[in-house]
Amino acid sequence: MTLLTVVQAAYFVAAVMFILGLKRMSSPVTARQGIVQAGIGMVIATIATFYFYFFDASGNYVLHVDNLVLCIAAIGIGTSVAWISGKKVAMTDMPQMVALYNGMGGGSAAAIGAVELFKAAALAGAAVTAIDMQAAQEQFGFTKSLLAVVGALIGAVSFSGSLIAFAKLQGWMDKRYTFPGQQAFNLLLFVAAIVLGGLLMFQLDERIIIAFFIVCLVLGVSMTLPIGGADMPVVISLYNAFTGLAVAFEGYVMQNPALIIAGMVVGAAGTLLTQLMAKAMNRPITNVLFSNFGGGGAAAQEISGSQKPVEASDAAVMMAYAERVVIVPGYGMAVAQAQHKIWELTQQLMKRGVKVKFAIHPVAGRMPGHMNVLLAEAGVPYDLIADMDDINPEFPNTDVAIVIGANDVVNPVAKTDPTSPIYGMPILDVSLAKNVIIIKRGKGTGFAGIENALFYQDNARMLFMDGQAAGAALIAAMKELDGGGH
């Protein structure tokens, strides 16, 4: 048994551990073991790979000192920077960190493609005769060069696109950047990338390689710029799938099964996850990428009535003497860091014998399940948290529904107004509850920029306060009730 066999075995073990790890991550009980297991697989694969710094293709001992130093430096810097930033980031900022790390993976895949193409170009360039040239092309092979080019294209788009997604969610570029003919421009870039990539299959020229990568990177930026914040989760998930595919394709070029399997598993899983998200938002993925959401001033139906404010003390009374209360948290709650106060309020209510549940819309927060993470951080137990399909039939029997920091996902126009951009999106039927209290800082609209008809309903009362302050005021009012009542 040669040492190379051990390396191959290590890749096999890593691939198995990735699949088992992901499988375990799909259940809350075993999820933690799952990521640890996948992590061990990664360490095994990484250690095994150092083999290539000591032995050449035929298994002879050749030490590439400067390459080894570069490699260790790169791993050291990359790991420590990402580790520290990952430890520090707040839970609310998790989506953009996933975007950032995903972009790095895409960039890495594109870098692999770039080096392979440059190497092949060097071989072709050294060829003197047409026969040498053909030999050089053949050594790289048609399938290999095709997948190297496609993987590089996808990886580069994922890299620059994810960085834009990160910048948008981080609030560095919170506008949608559009200009006339943008879609035609994007199409042109895409065609240019395909043409340059196709040229590379026949003419391995360094200038074409450079032009190809520039076009791919610009395409990623240009594709992501016009997409609004509300659609960002779908886009991040899509780029996650892209990176997986890019890794799988470059894995074929490197003839490395660990890369192929891990990349392909993620590519497929990411694609499905993207579909699930797009479905939950009722936004076909083509709309996310090619249409301008909320940009048009379509004549929406008039909303009649007015918003009726309520004091925290009155709101507290309504909740305290209710039988069933449903809390509908949205991203705004997390931004206000109000989840701990809301959980404290919930405990107060439960002490009084009120039945409290949390209703989670599939896209509450910035990604599906993001809100569950934020509530878990505050210590809210699982069994109080209900999915949209489970909680919707219960709203007519709910005495008080409290909406905090959520907007579009409770807007009844999604069911009533066919001209609305969010028409058809599944919503939480909060409007059917006997009373609705909406905690909101001001009268602004949600992500989608649409007026919310719920706020104007007769059973709705607005508590115009910051989420955290509202939580504190409600708790205080509730305690006062106890003091006076018993």
Binders of another protein among residues 358 to 377 (CB under 8 A) are 360, 362, 365, 367-370, 372-373, 376-377
For residue 414, give every residue at least 6 positions away whose Cβ sits within 8 Å of its Cβ, in sequence order, or none. 282, 408, 420, 422, 423, 424, 425, 426, 427
Q: Do 465 and 471 meet the contact criterion of CB atoms below 8 Å apart?
A: no
The C-alpha atoms of residue 267 and residue 241 are separated, in whole angstroms, by 4
Comparing CB distances to another protein, the nearer of 225 and 248 is 248
Smallest gap from Cβ 42 to another protein, in A, equals: 6
Strand ranges for 234-321 from DSSP E: none
Among 161, 226, 267, 446, binds another protein (CB under 8 A): 267
Binders of another protein among residues 286 to 305 (CB under 8 A) are none
Comparing CB distances to another protein, the nearer of 27 and 178 is 27
The C-alpha atoms of residue 189 and residue 292 are separated, in whole angstroms, by 19
Q: State the catalytic residue, choosing from 66, 174, 408, 458.
A: 408
Long-range contacts of 49-58 (CB under 8 A, 24+ apart): 49/7, 51/3, 51/4, 51/7, 55/3, 55/4
Binders of another protein among residues 387 to 426 (CB under 8 A) are 387
Smallest gap from Cβ 188 to another protein, in A, equals: 27
For residue 221, give every residue at least 6 positions away whose Cβ sits within 8 Å of its Cβ, in sequence order, or none. 160, 161, 164
Comparing CB distances to another protein, the nearer of 120 and 448 is 120
Nearest residue to 219 (alpha-carbon basis) of 296, 108, 116, 106:
106
Smallest gap from Cβ 202 to another protein, in A, equals: 21
Residues in contact with another protein, total (CB under 8 A)? 120
Binders of another protein among residues 185 to 214 (CB under 8 A) are none
Among 5, 296, 382, 484, binds another protein (CB under 8 A): 382
Smallest gap from Cβ 17 to another protein, in A, equals: 10
The C-alpha atoms of residue 439 and residue 435 are separated, in whole angstroms, by 13
Binders of another protein among residues 21 to 60 (CB under 8 A) are 21-23, 25-28, 31-32, 34-36, 38-39, 42, 45-46, 49-50, 52-53
**Which run of H or E residues covers position 329?**
strand 324-329
Q: Can you tell me which residue has the tokens 């959520």?
A: 406
Binding mask 109-128 for another protein (x = CB under 8 A): x-xx-xxx-xx--x------
Smallest gap from Cβ 316 to another protein, in A, equals: 24
Comparing CB distances to another protein, the nearer of 31 and 135 is 31
The C-alpha atoms of residue 482 and residue 206 are separated, in whole angstroms, by 77
Comparing CB distances to another protein, the nearer of 51 and 185 is 51
Smallest gap from Cβ 391 to another protein, in A, equals: 12
Is residue 255 a contact point for another protein (CB under 8 A)?
yes
The C-alpha atoms of residue 250 and residue 257 are separated, in whole angstroms, by 10
Binders of another protein among residues 58 to 117 (CB under 8 A) are 64, 66-68, 70-71, 73-75, 77-83, 85-87, 89, 91, 94-95, 97-98, 100-102, 104-105, 107-109, 111-112, 114-116
Comparing CB distances to another protein, the nearer of 269 and 432 is 269
Q: Do 200 and 210 meet the contact criterion of CB atoms below 8 Å apart?
A: no
φ and ψ of 447, to 5 deg: -50, -45
Q: 332, exposed or middle or buried, with CB in 10 Å at 0-12, 13-18, 19+?
A: buried
Smallest gap from Cβ 280 to another protein, in A, equals: 8
Comparing CB distances to another protein, the nearer of 107 and 471 is 107
Smallest gap from Cβ 111 to another protein, in A, equals: 3
- The DSSP 8-state label assigned to residue 207 in this structure reads H
For the chain, how many residues are written?
486
Among 127, 201, 265, 335, binds another protein (CB under 8 A): 265
Is residue 250 a contact point for another protein (CB under 8 A)?
yes
The C-alpha atoms of residue 110 and residue 409 are separated, in whole angstroms, by 38
Comparing CB distances to another protein, the nearer of 125 and 198 is 125
Binders of another protein among residues 118 to 177 (CB under 8 A) are 118-119, 122, 143, 159
| Interface stretch with another protein, choices 265-273, 329-337, 405-413, 432-440 (CB under 8 A) | 265-273
Is residue 230 a contact point for another protein (CB under 8 A)?
no
Q: Is 429 a catalytic residue?
A: no
Nearest residue to 206 (alpha-carbon basis) of 122, 269, 145, 92:
122
Q: Do 348 and 477 meet the contact criterion of CB atoms below 8 Å apart?
A: no
Q: Can you tell me which residue has the tokens 């998790």?
A: 94
Annotated active-site positions, please?
Answer: 408
